[in-house]
Structures are given as C-alpha cells and as structure tokens.
Structure 1
Amino acid sequence: MFKQLNKDFPASIVVFFVAIPLCLGIALASGAPLFSGLIAGIIGGIVVGAISGSSVGVSGPAAGLAAIVLAAISNIGYENLLLAVVIGGILQIIFGLLKAGIIGYYFPNSVIKGMLTGIGIIIILKQIPHFFGYDNAPQGDWAFFQVDGENTFSEIFNMLNNVSPGATIIAIIGMTILVLWEAVLSKKGKFFKLVQGPLVAVVAGIVYYLVTKDSETFAISADHLVNVPVPDSFDSFVGQFTLPSFEMIGTMEIWVVGFTIALVASLETLLCVEATDKLDPHRRTTPTNRELFAQGTGNVLSGLIGGLPITQVIVRSSANIQSGGQTKLSAILHGFLLLISILIIPNILNYIPLSVLAAILFLVGYKLAKPALFKEMYLKGWKQSVPFIVTVIGIVFGDLLIGISLGLLVGIVVILIKSYQNSHFLHIENVEDGGKTVKMTLAEEVTFINKGAIMKELNKLEENSYLVMDVSKTRYLDNDIVEILDDFKVKAEERNIDIKIISERGIIENPKSYYEFFQKPKPA
C-alpha cells in the first residue's frame, strides 16, 4: 500500500483542503455542531478508508443527508439523532452481509455519467459566490433551494452586489497557480509533481490574508475564512464530542430515522462507487458489499462519538482521482491530516480564505462536467442522451436523489419503448397464388410489455392471409401474450386467416386453444 506514497500523499493534501470546508459546511447546513462534520470526515477517512475495498473512494459527511439530519434534529434532538446514526450503521452492516451491494450495478451508465456531470455543474455554480467573497450559504449546501432561503441562481445574482475585492483577487491568483501548475509546471520536474498546486494556492491565500488584513479595501473578512472550532484546552476539546442517548432506542421514530439514514446513505454510496470506478484510470472494481460493511462500521463509530452520518462522496473522491491518488492510503492520510490539523494547527486553518478553496473546487467541477461529454452523449443517440440530460437537470434544480430517480425513471421508460419495439420481427412473403404469407418471429423473452406491439401487427393482417408464428427461439412467453392469441383466434376465423405455430413443442395449424398448446409439456 505504501508503494504509491509519492502519489497518494500529495493527493491526500488536496482532498484534505477540499474536505475541511465541506465537513464544516455540511454540519452547518444540517443544523449540527461544526465539530460533528469534522468527526465524520476523520472517521470516513481513517476507519472507512481502512476497511473499504475502494482504491480511490473517499468517505465523509454527505450533502445528500443534510436535509434528513436537519429535520431529525428539529424533531428528536441531536443526541437522539446520533442514536439513529448508530442504528443506521448497524443496518448498513446487515445490508452488506446480505449482499445488497449488487443494487448499484442496476443503474444505467447514462444516469451515472449524468450524476457526475450534474455534480460538476453544481460545484461550479455553488462556488461562484464563494469565489467572489459572498458567503451567505454554507459550503456543502448543494440543494437548489438553500438553507438560507435562496436558491442556486438567486445566490449568484445577490453576489453581484456584494463582491469582495480581496477575496476575488486571491481567488484569481489561486486559480492562476492551479492552472499554471497543472498545465506547465507539473511537467518541469519531480518537485512540481510532489508539491501539489492546491497546497501552493492555499499557502498563497494564507500569506495574502496576513499581509492585507489591516487594509480597508483588500482585506478578507473573517466570515470568508475557514472556521474550524478552536478549543481552549484539552478538556474543551474532549467536550466537543457528544454521546448518543439510548433512552429512546425502543421508539419507532428513532428507528424510522435510522432506517432512512441507512437506506439513503447506502444508495448514495453505491452510486458514488459506480461513478468512482468509472473515473478510476485503472478501472478497478470496488466490492460493493464490503463497501456497505465499511460504511456501516464508520456510521456506528461516528454516531457513538457525536459525528454526522457518512457516505462515500463524489466530490472528495473525484478530487482524489484528479490529484493522482492511487490507493486507499490517500483517503486514510486525508483523515489523519484532518485529525492532526484540528489538534495542532486549528488557528492556521482559520487563515485560509474560502475563495481559494472555491478555486480548487472550480477545477474539480470542470473536470466532472467537461463540455466534450455533452457532445459525446449526444452522438450516442437519444437512448443515452435523454436519461443523461434529465439526470443533470434533476440534480441542478433538485438534489442528487431527485436527479438519479428521474434519470432512472427515464431509463426504464427507454427500456420499455425498446422492448415494445423489439418484441418480434415481421417478414412478409409473397405466394404464387397472390395471397400473403406473414411470418412473425418472436424474441427470446416476450412479456406483457409487448402486448401493444403484437396486437398492432395482428390487427394489420389482411383477409385470406396466412400467418406463420415462429416461437421456437422464445424462452419465455408471458400468459398475457397467449391470451392475446386466444382472443385473436375469433377474428382470424371471421377474416379467413389461417395460423401456423412453430415451436419447440411442435408445429400446429389453427390450434383450438393456444393456452393448452403452450401449456403442454415439451417433448422429451
């Protein structure tokens, strides 16, 4: 695992800088203590990272659970929420043991790509206000309708009248460093590969803040800096941990919240695993059942010491991949960096301008939502492009689960349409006597979905025609289709249509009962 340390350690630093504002922002958006987000980030990195079978996935508090956590805290209180997180973790462990991880593989690729692209667009849109020094919405509030009462676009319009010169200048400097580092300097020598551009940008941001803090025009205000809780003593540090209350463990409301957390966290994790595996340059496959077990273990520990619920998250995972992370060590190291930083240098972290971190996230978002991907999906045809676009729109104007659900629904509709179209093959042969022989070959599997297509073709048959229906290759013929044939038998007699059935059971002309024919045992 340590063979790739020269790549994993620089990547872990980038993920660390991305994780800090997200851990704090998601806690703020969830109505929970800020320290709870850091706890979840640390456990997600160290514990989940160590148990997980994912080479590049990174876990921590997830924006997708913020609304659930916020509602739960207002209804049952924070300590009871922690108990629900523990219960949710136990349920996830059970999901893993029951091998429920296979669910993630049933989501179409177009939806997964739409998820990545939608998240990339959301990252860019949400970071625009932070880039220019307007921070009414906390980092990690990814929903279209924000906790501050604004939405994604109204927040951007409000920012236009509240641009901070200092924050904007250092954001532009940071963006220049990042682009220059990646496009030019990283190819000039080992030093520029070992020391990552985001670290240099963050250091530049700290220096800028310290140099300009007394300037009336170019200073960066305190509300535009990272805000890590700073304990006065060891006792105050320990006091930030909260234990769950087990008094209401028998209450149905607690179990409902716990099951909801387990279900949503598991689904988000499985979707992220599927997406992360596609981003992985080595295309390694994450064992999903083990991932559920790892996430469940992390949530049990997080709930026991006062942390938010954990999932694998695409923002940190993609930042890890884009920064060259090769093994799970990068995720584990980022967790240790979070722990060490809040123990030793919380004051220094609080000098980091959020606009610099916004510049880092800008590049992460752009790499997820490159314009070339839209062209690629368009060229693949409507069956791929429509679910893709619907997923993107759903995520941008709703949230992750809304976008995924809409994309999946459209994907199912596409399957139904194609199944309707591909239920049979129709071939018309001319016969010497001037009549028509119509040969209809059914597919391997014909279900009730295909009723409409088959009925349409049967009703098109002309009088005095001859229908040859070949079901010899059909492995499953739904009873609904057999009933259609039985119903059509009356019309066939009235229109003088003769029917021959070719199947593995034999050949029969004008059967009296199609149901009895298809129910007969196959010949030995």
Structure 2
Amino acid sequence: MIYGVYTTNLYSMSLFKHWRKDFPASLVVFFVALPLCLGVALASGAPPFAGLIAGVVGGVVVGYLSGSSIGVSGPAAGLVVIVYNAINDLGSYELFLVSVILAGIIQIALGVFRAGVIGYYFPSAVIKGMLSAIGIMIFVQQIPLAFGFTGDVNTDRIDFSGLHDQISPGALFVTLISLGILLLWDGILAKRNKIFKLVPAPLIAVVVGIVIYVTLGQSGFFALHENQLVSVPVPDGVASFIGQFTFPDFSALTQGDVYVTAFTIAIVASLETLLSVEASDKLDPLKRQTPTNKELVAQGVGNAVSGLIGGIPITQVVVRSTANVMSGAVTKLSAIMHGFLILMSVIAIPTLLNLIPQAVLASVLLIIGYKLAKPKSFVQMYKLGKTQFIPFIVTVVGIVSTDLLKGIMIGLTVGLITVLLKSYYNSHQLLLKEYQGKKNLFHINFAEEVTFINKGRIIKELDALEKGAYLELDFRKTKVLDYDILEYLDEFSVKAKNNDINIKMIAENETLEHSKSFREYFGHRVFQLQH
C-alpha cells in the first residue's frame, strides 16, 4: 500500500513538474483541436457533438494512459471516408458506435500481442515526407478560411475557383492581425522580455479576434458571417446537454458488417497512430521514444470509451501533436489538459467560443503548416542523396495528391525499392588487377551479406568474363551467403572450366561454415580454398 502511494505521488510530481510550459501549450492545442473535432465529425456524417466527445476522450483518457509525452489524440481526418461510408452502410449512427467499441477492443489485443513493432519499420525519409506533406496540406487548407471563403471547402481537394470573388475583408483583416501577433509575439517580444512567454501568442490572437468581431465584425465593411465563426453546440440546460450523447445499439453484434467495419477501423487507426508516434517522436526536443504497444492499448481503451458514449473513432494526430511540441509542451499534462478544456468550454462557455473567427485559428495553423514544410527541410533532404530524397519527395507528392495512408504506402514502396537497389549494387566490388604478368586478373570482394537480390548483378559480371581470365572470389568479409548464390557459383564453375577461366576462392576457416552444402559445391571444383 505504501509502495502504491509512493509511486502515485512520484507520477503526480513528474506529471505536474513542467505545468508552466504544459498549460500554455494545452491552450494552443485546445484552439487547434476544437474546430478540427467539429470539422471531422461533420465531414464524417456524424453529429458535431460526437467530434467533441472524441476530442475529450482522446485528451483525457488516451492522454492519461499513453506512454507518449507530447502526442495528442482525437478524431482524425484519415478516418473520415471510412466513418462516413460505415454510418451509411450500417444504417444508423447507433449501430456504427458498436463498431467503434469493437475496434477499440481489437486495438487493445494488438497492443497486448506487441503489434506496435510495425511502426519501427517505416523509413525516416518516409516519416519526414509525411510531416512535410501534412504541413503543405495544413497550409493550403487554411487559405480559404484565412480569406473568408464562404463556399463549401473540400479539405481533400481544394478548389480555388471563384475564391477571389468571395474574399471577406473582415476575415482577411483578422488573419493579417493574427499572423502579425503570432510572428511578433514569438519572434521578437518573447525574446526581449520573459513576461511575453507567460501568455501564449495564440490566446492573445483569439482574444483580439473576438474583440475585432464584437466591435467591427458584426456589420459594415469588416463584417463576418456566422459560417466564418467557430460553431459549438449550445445546450439549453443539463437535460439538453445530456441529450446530445448517443449510445450504441448492441443489437448490431449479430450483424457481420459491424465486425468488418470494426476490423477496418482498428487497422487504419492503429497504422495512423503508429505513423503519428514516429513523427511526434522525431519532433520531440528531448527525443523520447513512445512505447508503441502501450500506445495501441491506450488508443483501444479510448475508442472503446468514445464508442460507448457516442464519440467517433480516435487516433493520435500529427497536427495536434505538432502544435503541442511547437508550443513548448514537455509532458503529457498538456494533452490531458486540452481534453479538459474542450469539456469545460463546451459546458461553460459555448456562446463565447462561437464568437471566435475561424480566421484566427487558420492563422495558427498557417504558422504550424509552414514550420512543418519549411523549404529548408527539402534542401536538407536533397543534400542527403538520392536514397533519402527520392522516398521523401515521393511520399510528399503521394500524400498531397491522394491521401495520408495511400501516400505513405507509395513512399514506403519506393523506399523499399531504393533499399533493394542499394543492396543490389553494394553486394560486392569488382577490381581489375595485374599479378605476375596476368593483366586479366579479376578480384571480387563480397559484402557481409549476399542474397538472391544480388544474384542478377553477379551473373551479369561473371558472364562478361572472357576466356582465359583469372578470377579471385574473396569471401573473407562474408557472413551470410544465400543458397541462390551458392547454386549459381556452382553452375558458373562448370562454365569457367569450359572457358578456361581459372578461379581461386579466398575464405576464412569460420566463413560460411553454416552453409551445409558449401564444401559439396566447391570441394570437387577448380576452386582452391585458401585459409
């Protein structure tokens, strides 16, 4: 019992140790997450309140259980299409919620059986490409809101046709003022005086945005329309607030489609979470590593809870995690607090929240998008060479032109091909030497690992040897020699004898001893084993 109290106190101390940095960061994440929760819910065909439920659960429940110090979870745009189709196919939102609960249970099982290791197999270039692509998409998607575009905005494929005819002077004015505050506050004022570090710049931008709307934005040249403001459901009372919750219809457990939907959500949500974990860990200034299996369990519990009380599916989200890191968060207190802020604001001040111009939030995301996709990062990747730059840029283009998961798969495929090509060319080194008057002496140094991938290049070079050539095969560095290579060398030894090609193989005693047929292949040939 004493041990339990001690560990709890120790945990509490570590959780609140950096509250001076975590609380301001939670405010920024709150302002970023609030419109995203509503937007994802609406795009998914779910009630707006369902997005807020997912935001609260993602912050409080997943934030508490997660092993990530700076990752933030909530409703994700990557699941919009799946959720929208599932709600329509299943026939009701109540039936869909059962799939969300089952998806959470599946994720818990994935974590228990250590499936989180999958996240470690994504190349760094692909993860960096994902971050840059998300930065570009964030930046581009905020432009219509920053200019006050009042038409339908498709966040997957932005269409700027007719945008110039619907620019709102009021929204543009708020955007410019907000960007000025954000850039001036963090870039100059915070560096000159510590007082400016106590209050986050986005909070000042939000307050100024509300003042502009109240004083200038309700009529006249700088007028803002209702659809240019944040829109949070406003309950009439306790009963009205409780009535916004939707509960699952467990009769769906007899329907096979519910399980198919649950499995789909679990796999996609888990993959998106693992990718976000990899990206968030790279952004963490302290370079802490998130336990991926624990993260899957946390996400699973979060989805089960969200589904039970009417929320849409949850994943760890790069946008919110990035905002968290760039706002100076140190521990997961920031993620937990942002969840409580969503809950308290929806209960206590929904009317005040509905006075915030969307242009203010767009300005915050414009800054975040630019930081993620800085031109400097593209230059740095280019300088690292083709093996890094090609998967990076392909991932960027793939995500921007399709969607997150498809782009990642395209980038991963190109990254795998790049690795295979690199392995193809790095299996051995062919040297032309002159030894004891022999001008056509070829010496091949083989790498530590020679597999079937390298077979094509080895065949090409050995088949090009002329009659009467002298060949040294140096296996002293080789630890793994694939059966396919052994088989070809055996075949080549016959060809070499017929073409008067003299072969000597150089190997250490320990080398290739694990290969069962090694001496059977070479012991009776013209190869000379040199110890």
Paired residues of 1:63 and 1:142 also in contact (CA < 8 A):
no
User: In the alignment, which residue of structure 2 is the partner of 1:30?
Assistant: 44
User: In the alignment, which residue of structure 2 is the partner of 1:406?
Assistant: 410
Q: Deviations over 1:81-133 (max 9, x none)?
A: 21111111111111111111111111111111111111001001000000011
Q: Deviations over 1:24-81 (max 9, x none)?
A: 0011111111011100100000000001111111110000011110111110131222
Instruction: In structure 2, give the amino acid aligned to 1:384.
Output: Q
TM-score (norm. length: structure 1): 0.93
- Displacement after TM superposition at 1:135 (Å): 4.1
Match of 2:172 among 168, 172, 179: 168
* Residue 196 of structure 2 corresponds to residue 196 of structure 1: no
**Could you tell me how far apart the structure 1 residues matched to 2:465 and 2:218 are?**
88
Paired residues of 2:490 and 2:521 also in contact (CA < 8 A):
no
* Residue 259 of structure 2 corresponds to residue 255 of structure 1: yes
- Displacement after TM superposition at 1:519 (Å): 11
Instruction: In structure 2, give the amino acid aligned to 1:73.
Output: I
Match of 2:359 among 355, 359, 382: 355
4+ aligned runs moved over 6 Å, structure 1: none
User: In the alignment, which residue of structure 2 is the partner of 1:130?
Assistant: 145
TM-score (norm. length: structure 2): 0.92
Report the 3-state secondary structure (helix = DSSP H, G, I; strand = E; otherwise coil) of the residue aligned with 2:250.
coil
Paired residues of 2:48 and 2:233 also in contact (CA < 8 A):
yes
**Bigger mean CA offset, 483-492 vs 7-16:** 483-492
Match of 2:70 among 53, 56, 80: 56
Match of 2:34 among 2, 17, 20: 20
**Could you tell me how far apart the structure 2 residues matched to 1:115 and 1:461 are?**
46
Gaps of 5+ in 1: 144-150
User: In the alignment, which residue of structure 2 is the partner of 1:111?
Assistant: 126
* Residue 270 of structure 2 corresponds to residue 266 of structure 1: yes
* Residue 79 of structure 2 corresponds to residue 75 of structure 1: no
Output aligned runs, 1:45-444, within 5 Å: 45-76=59-90, 77-137=92-152, 142-143=155-156, 151-152=157-158, 154=159, 156-434=160-438, 436-444=440-448
**Could you tell me how far apart the structure 1 residues matched to 2:469 and 2:371 are?**
60
- Displacement after TM superposition at 1:505 (Å): 5.8
**Could you tell me how far apart the structure 2 residues matched to 1:388 and 1:519 are?**
48
Over 3 Å counting, the alpha-carbon distance change for 1:444 and 1:250 in structure 2 is farther
**Could you tell me how far apart the structure 2 residues matched to 1:507 and 1:445 are?**
12
* Residue 477 of structure 2 corresponds to residue 473 of structure 1: yes
Instruction: In structure 2, give the amino acid aligned to 1:236.
Output: S
**Could you tell me how far apart the structure 2 residues matched to 1:179 and 1:137 are?**
29
Over 3 Å counting, the alpha-carbon distance change for 1:137 and 1:94 in structure 2 is farther
Paired residues of 1:142 and 1:399 also in contact (CA < 8 A):
no
- Displacement after TM superposition at 1:486 (Å): 2.7
- Displacement after TM superposition at 1:244 (Å): 1.3
**Could you tell me how far apart the structure 2 residues matched to 1:519 and 1:434 are?**
25
Paired residues of 1:435 and 1:464 also in contact (CA < 8 A):
no
Over 3 Å counting, the alpha-carbon distance change for 1:448 and 1:129 in structure 2 is same
**Could you tell me how far apart the structure 2 residues matched to 1:50 and 1:209 are?**
37
**Bigger mean CA offset, 159-168 vs 248-257:** 248-257
- Displacement after TM superposition at 1:440 (Å): 1.7
Paired residues of 1:424 and 1:440 also in contact (CA < 8 A):
yes
Q: Deviations over 1:255-296 (max 9, x none)?
A: 111111111111111111111111111111111111111111
Report the 3-state secondary structure (helix = DSSP H, G, I; strand = E; otherwise coil) of the residue aligned with 1:115.
helix
User: In the alignment, which residue of structure 1 is the partner of 2:8?
Assistant: none
Over 3 Å counting, the alpha-carbon distance change for 1:38 and 1:446 in structure 2 is same
Over 3 Å counting, the alpha-carbon distance change for 1:507 and 1:183 in structure 2 is closer
**Could you tell me how far apart the structure 2 residues matched to 1:331 and 1:280 are?**
14
**Bigger mean CA offset, 56-65 vs 399-408:** 399-408
Instruction: In structure 1, give the amino acid aligned to 2:373.
Output: A
**Could you tell me how far apart the structure 2 residues matched to 1:405 and 1:494 are?**
48
Instruction: In structure 2, give the amino acid aligned to 1:52.
Output: S
Paired residues of 2:64 and 2:332 also in contact (CA < 8 A):
yes
- Displacement after TM superposition at 1:161 (Å): 1.6
User: In the alignment, which residue of structure 2 is the partner of 1:148?
Assistant: none
Instruction: In structure 2, give the amino acid aligned to 1:363.
Output: I
Report the 3-state secondary structure (helix = DSSP H, G, I; strand = E; otherwise coil) of the residue aligned with 1:409.
helix
**Could you tell me how far apart the structure 2 residues matched to 1:368 and 1:158 are?**
28
Over 3 Å counting, the alpha-carbon distance change for 1:114 and 1:339 in structure 2 is same
Q: Calculate percent identity across the aligned residue pairs.
A: 55
**Root mean square deviation, CA, Å:** 1.9
Report the 3-state secondary structure (helix = DSSP H, G, I; strand = E; otherwise coil) of the residue aligned with 1:104.
helix
**Could you tell me how far apart the structure 2 residues matched to 1:368 and 1:85 are?**
31
Instruction: In structure 2, give the amino acid aligned to 1:9.
Output: F
Report the 3-state secondary structure (helix = DSSP H, G, I; strand = E; otherwise coil) of the residue aligned with 2:252.
coil
Paired residues of 2:490 and 2:522 also in contact (CA < 8 A):
no
**Bigger mean CA offset, 73-82 vs 108-117:** 73-82
Instruction: In structure 2, give the amino acid aligned to 1:129.
Output: P
Report the 3-state secondary structure (helix = DSSP H, G, I; strand = E; otherwise coil) of the residue aligned with 1:247.
helix
- Displacement after TM superposition at 1:459 (Å): 0.9
Report the 3-state secondary structure (helix = DSSP H, G, I; strand = E; otherwise coil) of the residue aligned with 1:427.
strand
* Residue 468 of structure 2 corresponds to residue 464 of structure 1: yes
Instruction: In structure 2, give the amino acid aligned to 1:67.
Output: V
- Displacement after TM superposition at 1:194 (Å): 1.4
- Displacement after TM superposition at 1:504 (Å): 4.8
Paired residues of 1:58 and 1:313 also in contact (CA < 8 A):
yes
- Displacement after TM superposition at 1:435 (Å): 5.2
Report the 3-state secondary structure (helix = DSSP H, G, I; strand = E; otherwise coil) of the residue aligned with 1:248.
helix
Instruction: In structure 2, give the amino acid aligned to 1:86.
Output: I
- Displacement after TM superposition at 1:506 (Å): 8.5
User: In the alignment, which residue of structure 1 is the partner of 2:11?
Assistant: none
Report the 3-state secondary structure (helix = DSSP H, G, I; strand = E; otherwise coil) of the residue aligned with 1:161.
helix
**Could you tell me how far apart the structure 1 residues matched to 2:478 and 2:155 are?**
48
**Bigger mean CA offset, 255-264 vs 341-350:** 255-264
What is the total number of aligned residue pairs between the two structures? 505
Instruction: In structure 2, give the amino acid aligned to 1:459.
Output: D
